Amino acid sequence: EIVLTQSPGTLSLSPGERATLSCRASQSVSSSYLAWYQQKPGQAPRLLIYGASSRATGIPDRFSGSGSGTDFTLTISRLEPEDFAVYYCQQYGSSPPGFTFGGGTKVEIK
C-alpha cells in the first residue's frame, strides 16, 4: 500500500504570497497517477490537479502541480482569499487498495 505524507500540516501565509505544498509517497507512484483536491469547511472536496500536473476544468492557472516518482508539489502562485482551505493529495492507479489520500495541508491566513 502506498502511503502519502503531506507537509507541512499547516501553512500560514498572506494573500498574494506563494504557497508550496508537498506530497511524498512511500513508493513510486506509477505514471504520475497523483491528484490534488481542495476542500473548504462544510464542502465536498474539489478536484484541482490530476496526472500530477494537469489542471482540472475551470481551475485558475495560479494552481500548478509538478513532480514524479515519490515527490509531488502543488503550487499556488499568488494566494487569493478564496484559496485558504485544506488541500489533499491522492494516488490512484495502483493495485488494491488503489486509492490513498494524504493527511492534508491546511493553508490559513497569516
Partner 1 sequence: EVQLVESGGGLVKPGGSLRLSCAASGFTFSSYSMNWVRQAPGKGLEWVSSISSSSSYIYYADSVKGRFTISRDNAKNSLYLQMNSLRAEDTAVYYCARVAKPSWFVFANWFDPWGQGTLVTVSS
Cell of 73: 508539489
Decide if residue 65 touches partner 1 (CB under 8 A).
no
Decide if residue 97 touches partner 1 (CB under 8 A).
yes
Please say which residue, 73 or 100, places its beta carbon nearer to partner 1: 100
Amino acid, res. 83: D
Decide if residue 73 touches partner 1 (CB under 8 A).
no
Please say which residue, 13 or 33, places its beta carbon nearer to partner 1: 33
Q: What are phi and psi of 10, to 5 degrees?
A: -135, 140
Chain contacts with partner 1 (rule: CB under 8 A): 33, 35, 37, 39, 43-47, 50, 56, 88, 90, 92-104
